[in-house]
A and B are shown apart, each in its own frame.
Chain A
Amino acid sequence: MNLVEIQGVKKHFGEIHAVDGIDMHVKKGEILGLLGPNGAGKSTTISMIATLLEPTNGTILFMGESIQTNPKRIQEVLGFVPQEIALYPTLTGKENLQFWGRVYGLRSSKLKERISEISQVIGLEERLKDRVDTYSGGMKRRLNIGVALLHKPAFIIMDEPTVGIDPQSRSFILDTVRELRDQGSTVLYTTHYIEEVESLCDRIYIMDHGKIIAEGTKESLTEMIDASEVIRLSVEAVDPMLITTLQELKFVEKAVVEANSIFLTVKENGNHYQSIMNALKESGTELKGMDIQKPSLETVFLHLTGRGLRD
């Protein structure tokens, strides 16, 4: 049985269809990635899983049981790391850990033990007695994760936990996630960084405009593009006529524009160089550079949405 089963879930805020009918599942023991640009509906989706929001439509099952009829079941075993820092700035790191531990039923010696373990994991032992508002951004992020792990949650949801963080803290966090999985937890990891899902996740959902547009392992997703390479052309300015011409070439699967680059997904190996150059010459566009990329999640995303992930 899947740990979480999401069936036909929608969430509408008035006119905004933040989540627009998605089906997803989370398998026990995996790191599942939810990848999508800002505003895709990732936070809304996991807020519904975490019982913070009620779906407008559809059902969410946790261990076979609807989370609406029995929210407590998931609440007790869920460790939720929100996108925002959700801590008490005037309290010390330790007091924050104490409070959130108590919220999950930890008391006295058990609480003490877990606080010392967790502060080791998040590397904050030295600063526990200081107020949180004296912490650096990275330290707050780590404490934000730490308070979610106190009760040894079997299921952990992290919402973009590495946004605005130094590279060191970032790799530290990614290592922590892997460790948690290795200890038997299930992790749902939300991000808009492709490198993170590529290096971290066992399985990936790609989300855009409130819909799941692709699902699979990293390998199966890149295989999805029925092509062996992506050619990137850097130009001074993009001429719409040129795109039409390129799209009409029989070996071009898809032509996508991002800023001053044109990405051509090409069907088969071979030398397409001449036809491309002809098309460029025809439209009078000057080529500034060209390179050939192996398909990656980034190109998968481009292929699927016609947009880059980064704004």
Chain B
Amino acid sequence: MRTILWLKLRLLKRDYMILVILTAMALLLTGIFGGSMIGKYQPSILVVSEESSLESDRFFELMQTSETFQFEWADQADAIMRVESDEVMAALILPVGFGMDLKSGIAPSISFFQSKDALELMELKNWVRAMVFRMQSDQRMVHFSVENFQGDELGVKVLAEADTHWANKVPVLVHTTTKTTGFFDFYDIKIHYMVGFLLFFSTFSIVFTMADLLQEKKQFTWNRQMISPITKKKILAGNILYSWCLGFMQALVLVGVGGFLFDIDWKAPLAVLLVLGMYILAIAGLGMLITGFVRTLEQLSAITPVILVSFAMLGGCMWPLEIISNPILLFAANLTPHKWALQAVERIVMFDAPIETIGFPILILGTMSLVFFILGLWRFHKHAIS
């Protein structure tokens, strides 16, 4: 195994630049993709009011308590233009009589102006509905109090009272959001995307270092190694070890530089590296297995992105698994190393989970590595076909 490492380091000396470039790319792409994903999470919504009333101001105030959206006043022409150019996701238009309708207990009609359908618009509509409902309830209460006790001051007082009552409560809970609110309280979507994309982009260089084995087959040095007294097991283990070392160095850079660049507090960096170490081993095993199934570098280059992207998607690197409900997809996620690594790192970084809770994901990653290695041993024939 030492001999194989000796060889690999000599070969690395000849083209280490590729590795440097791949690492830099991983950082860059994580920045770009992770960043753009986060940006999407506070879409801007414009509010246009055709009247100027106490009620419309209050509506705007209430809307602004949303954590998902940002609201901004605009006039009608401006709103239409900015929605059409996709600068903002949607605009809400409060018609003339909005305040009167509310006061007289009639459901006000609010128009939505949007250029395309998006999942977030559902949430927006729910939010609007909830806030309108809240205003209606408040209004009813005010009416009731004022009619019974007289006096304008009292009305204002009751309204203030009602506000304290409502504070920090969403008057109407939409079923789908209730399911996840608790989770999203802790959940830091930024860390999720950063870690997810780091896990995803770092797989490429690991798989491609395993692909050196194809080069060995092509130049027949593989055959020559196979008839030497070194066993196949040791040769493949040497190759994995080498991939692992490079992958781990890359992980050190990503954790160090990535943490600094993207402002992530790793909480327990050693535990994070432990998880990453096991993850890299599993990916190296996966790389070896893929390499065992293809015949040429061209085939490998064609199939690797497909496999790595699907694994990353299934494993939750692209979007959190918590938003997925399809049981088949959730089951498939368990078969990817990505899911377990992501889960363990998130537990450490977001939830301050005790280190013991990452034991299980690490065990799974270890088992995966072993299975990949055994399958790879079986796939790698001694005799490379010329």
A147 CB to closest chain B CB (Å) equals 8
Separation of A105 and B2 alpha carbons in the complex (Å)? 11
Contact with A along B213-250 (1 / 0, CB 8 A): 00000011101111111100000000000000000000
Separation of A90 and B216 alpha carbons in the complex (Å)? 12
B contact residues around A86 at 8 Å (CB): 219-221, 223-224
Whether the pair A102, B383 counts as a contact (CB closer than 8 A) is: no
A99 partner, pick from B10, B223, B226, beta carbons under 8 A: B10
Whether the pair B386, A84 counts as a contact (CB closer than 8 A) is: yes
Whether the pair A104, B382 counts as a contact (CB closer than 8 A) is: no
Contact with B along A251-270 (1 / 0, CB 8 A): 00000000000000000000
Total A residues in contact with B, Cβ cutoff 8 Å:
27
Whether the pair A52, B383 counts as a contact (CB closer than 8 A) is: yes
B contact residues around A102 at 8 Å (CB): 3, 6
A288 CB to closest chain B CB (Å) equals 41
Per the 8 Å Cβ criterion, residues 85-129 of A in contact with B are 85-91, 95, 99-100, 102-105
A-B contact count (CB 8 A): 64
Separation of A102 and B230 alpha carbons in the complex (Å)? 10
A contact residues around B382 at 8 Å (CB): 51-53
B contact residues around A308 at 8 Å (CB): none
Q: A82-B220, A86-B223, A99-B6 are in contact. Are A75 and B11 (CB under 8 A)?
A: no
Most chain A CB neighbours (cut-off 10 Å) among B11, B14, B228, B382: B228
B contact residues around A76 at 8 Å (CB): 229
Separation of A99 and B228 alpha carbons in the complex (Å)? 12
Whether the pair A100, B224 counts as a contact (CB closer than 8 A) is: yes
Closest to B15 in A: A90
B3 CB to closest chain A CB (Å) equals 4
Q: A84-B386, A87-B221 are in contact. Are A51 and B14 (CB under 8 A)?
A: no
A72 interface residue per 8 A CB criterion: yes
B96 interface residue per 8 A CB criterion: no
Whether the pair B219, A87 counts as a contact (CB closer than 8 A) is: yes
A contact residues around B20 at 8 Å (CB): none
Whether the pair A75, B227 counts as a contact (CB closer than 8 A) is: yes
Separation of A92 and B212 alpha carbons in the complex (Å)? 18
A163 interface residue per 8 A CB criterion: no
A103 partner, pick from B14, B228, B383, beta carbons under 8 A: B228
Whether the pair A84, B3 counts as a contact (CB closer than 8 A) is: no
B7 interface residue per 8 A CB criterion: yes
Separation of A76 and B11 alpha carbons in the complex (Å)? 25
Contact with A along B1-25 (1 / 0, CB 8 A): 0010011001100110000000000
Q: A53-B382, A91-B10 are in contact. Are A78 and B224 (CB under 8 A)?
A: no
A contact residues around B227 at 8 Å (CB): 50-52, 75, 78, 80
B contact residues around A90 at 8 Å (CB): 11, 14-15
Separation of A49 and B224 alpha carbons in the complex (Å)? 13
Q: A47-B383, A53-B382, A103-B225 are in contact. Are A85 and B230 (CB under 8 A)?
A: no
A162 CB to closest chain B CB (Å) equals 18
14 pairs, A vs B, C-beta closer than 8 Å: A51-B382, A53-B383, A76-B229, A82-B223, A86-B223, A86-B224, A88-B10, A88-B221, A95-B10, A99-B6, A102-B3, A103-B229, A104-B228, A105-B229
Binding site for B on A (CB under 8 A): 47, 50-53, 72, 75-76, 78, 80, 82, 84-91, 95, 99-100, 102-105, 147
